Amino acid sequence: MSQDDLAQKVKLSPSYISLIEKGDRDLPISVAEKIATALGIPMSLLTFLAAEPGDLKGMPEDVRDKLAGIAFKLLNAKRRA
């Protein structure tokens, strides 16, 4: 999904979506929920995908990598559906 498509779905400007993507703007929970809904994924999956490695330091690296792989497979399957 392009930034323009996402921006249109969540009723924000494409430039604001770009700033969020680059990490130049904080992401309010309300906007994160709108983005998760627009992407058709649970908020928890979006949160996991956005986590920095240091945020998941209690999780073994191989488990984190497997979960990330599953998450991306789910996103791709959702996109094709």
Q: pLDDT per residue over 7-59, tens digit each?
A: 999 999 999 999 988 889 988 999 999 998 988 888 888 887 777 778 878 88
Report d(CA 58, CA 43) in Å as an integer.
21
Map out the domains of the chain as residue ranges: 3-80
Question: Is the confidence at residue 75, as pLDDT, over 80?
Answer: no
Q: 78 falls in which pLDDT band (50, 70, 90)?
A: low
Q: Collapsing DSSP states into helix, strand and coil, what is residue 25?
A: coil
Query: What's the pLDDT at 73?
Result: 81
CA atoms within 13 A on the CB side of 4: 0
Report d(CA 60, CA 71) in Å as an integer.
16
Quote the tokens at residue 30.
């309300």
Q: Collapsing DSSP states into helix, strand and coil, what is residue 61?
A: helix
Domain 3-80 fold? 434 Repressor (Amino-terminal Domain) (1.10.260)
Query: What's the pLDDT at 34?
Result: 92
Report d(CA 3, CA 9) in Å as an integer.
10
